[in-house]
């Protein structure tokens, strides 16, 4: 059979990579985002807003976050020839204990199961991409890092690390690890202030500023602009860079995001003063 796998994923799609392995093992020819006539088309969609082509079978969070691959397919190693990537890809721990109302992960069925990197790592690669939703919530998180260190791998960080779980041992592990991409952290809600600040202090103590891409700041969900400015100021005070992430892409949220990303505030003593002057200079009358 001639099988076409289609997706809106820009870099990789783990589900399709495992399906490809299974289909090839059964003697079928597999294409990715092919054009023409095929015996079967299987789609895996990451985003609900993407334009979807007709498929014989389809799934993914862009269709229904509760849809999962059958267990028999999950046991397959990904087909690393399907996408032009130079890293291994998979989960050592998919579960996340947080029930954030803005996140799709709580809608998914992610069991509390630890996996070795060797269930999906291909030794021809010197990089590995962990898709874990919350690595440090795994009781066996250190085993993951030890396997990575032993294999001398660099890590692609896509989902980030939970500052609320940080302690000296975890930050030391991050510091010891080689990173193929900048580290990611986030401060999403004001209710987590004490835990987030404790995590920021540890990042500063272990001098992770030089390897961190900054701290994502969720805006437009359940915080005021004053609270957004406050979080950005705290992050800046610890020598890190805030990156606003609008939950709702309203004009005022996008303007605030642009204001922070331009680092305009670095000309002033406080971000609050910079924001007032920025609005005044651009004739904005957005909330404080």
Please report whether residue 137 resides in a domain.
no
pTM metric for this prediction: 0.89
Give me the sign of the Cα torsion angle 29, 30, 36, 38: positive
Whole-number Å distance between alpha carbons of 138 and 114? 7
Q: Are strands 212-219 and 242-246 parallel, antiparallel or unpaired?
A: parallel
Whole-number Å distance between alpha carbons of 64 and 80? 25
Taking 80 as the threshold, does the pLDDT of residue 280 lie above it? no
Residue 136's SS3 state is: helix
Average pLDDT over residues 101-109: 88
For the chain, the average pLDDT equals 92
How many CB atoms lie under 10 A from the CB of residue 38? 18
Whole-number Å distance between alpha carbons of 208 and 202? 9
Which has the higher per-residue pLDDT, 71 or 270?
Answer: 270
Which distant-in-sequence residues (6+ apart) come within 8 Å of 200 by Cβ?
A: 163, 215, 234, 235, 238, 240
Please report whether residue 156 resides in a domain.
no
Please report whether residue 39 resides in a domain.
yes
Please report whether residue 286 resides in a domain.
yes
Please report whether residue 195 resides in a domain.
yes
Residue ending a domain, among 68, 90, 111, is 68
Q: What is the pLDDT of residues 11-64, one digit of tens each?
A: 999 999 999 999 999 999 999 999 999 999 999 999 888 888 889 999 998 888
Q: What share of the chain is helix, strand, coil (3-state, %, to 5)?
A: 35, 15, 45
CB 48 within 8 A of CB 85: no
Whole-number Å distance between alpha carbons of 277 and 270? 11
For tokens 């100021």, name the residue: 233
Q: How many residues does the chain have?
A: 288
Residue ending a domain, among 68, 89, 107, is 68
Residue 199's SS3 state is: helix
% of residues, the chain, pLDDT over 70: 95
Alpha helices in 84-192 (DSSP H): 141-150, 168-176
Please report whether residue 64 resides in a domain.
yes
Please report whether residue 255 resides in a domain.
yes
Average pLDDT over residues 138-159: 96
According to the model, what pLDDT value does residue 33 have? 94
Residue ending a domain, among 11, 38, 68, is 68
By residue range, what is the domain housing residue 269? 182-288
Number of domains in the chain: 2
Q: What is the pLDDT of residues 172-219, one digit of tens each?
A: 999 999 999 988 899 999 999 999 999 999 998 887 754 555 899 999
Please report whether residue 270 resides in a domain.
yes
Distance of CA 84 to the CA centre of its chain: 20
Q: What is the pLDDT of residues 52-99, one digit of tens each?
A: 888 999 999 888 888 888 888 888 999 999 999 999 999 999 999 999
């Amino acid at each position: 059979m001639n099988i076409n796998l289609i997706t809106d994923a820009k870099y990789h799609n783990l589900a399709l990579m495992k399906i490809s392995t299974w289909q090839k093992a059964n003697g079928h020819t597999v294409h990715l985002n092919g054009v023409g006539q095929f015996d079967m088309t299987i789609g895996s969609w990451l985003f609900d807003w993407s334009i979807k082509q007709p498929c014989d079978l389809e799934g993914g969070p862009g269709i229904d976050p509760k849809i999962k691959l059958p267990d028999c397919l999950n046991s397959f190693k990904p087909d690393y020839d399907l996408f032009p990537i130079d890293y291994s890809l998979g989960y050592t721990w998919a579960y996340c204990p947080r029930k954030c109302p803005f996140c799709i992960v709580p809608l998914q069925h992610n069991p509390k199961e630890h996996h070795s990197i060797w269930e999906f790592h291909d030794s021809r690669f010197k990089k590995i991409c962990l898709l874990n939703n919350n690595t440090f919530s795994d009781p066996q998180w250190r085993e993951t890092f030890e396997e990575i260190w032993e294999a001398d791998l660099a890590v692609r960080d896509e989902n980030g690390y939970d500052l609320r779980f940080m302690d000296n041992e975890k930050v030391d592990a991050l510091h010891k690890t080689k990173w193929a991409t900048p580290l990611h952290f986030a401060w999403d809600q004001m209710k987590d202030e004490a835990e987030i600040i404790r995590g920021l202090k540890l990042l500063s103590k272990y001098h992770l500023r030089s390897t961190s891409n900054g701290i994502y700041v969720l805006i437009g969900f359940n915080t005021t602009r004053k609270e957004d400015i406050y979080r950005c100021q705290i992050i800046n005070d610890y020598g890190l860079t805030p990156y606003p992430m609008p939950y709702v892409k309203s004009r005022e949220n996008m303007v605030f995001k642009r204001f922070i990303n331009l680092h305009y505030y670095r000309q002033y003593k406080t971000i609050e003063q910079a924001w007032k002057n920025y609005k005044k200079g651009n004739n904005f009358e957005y909330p404080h």
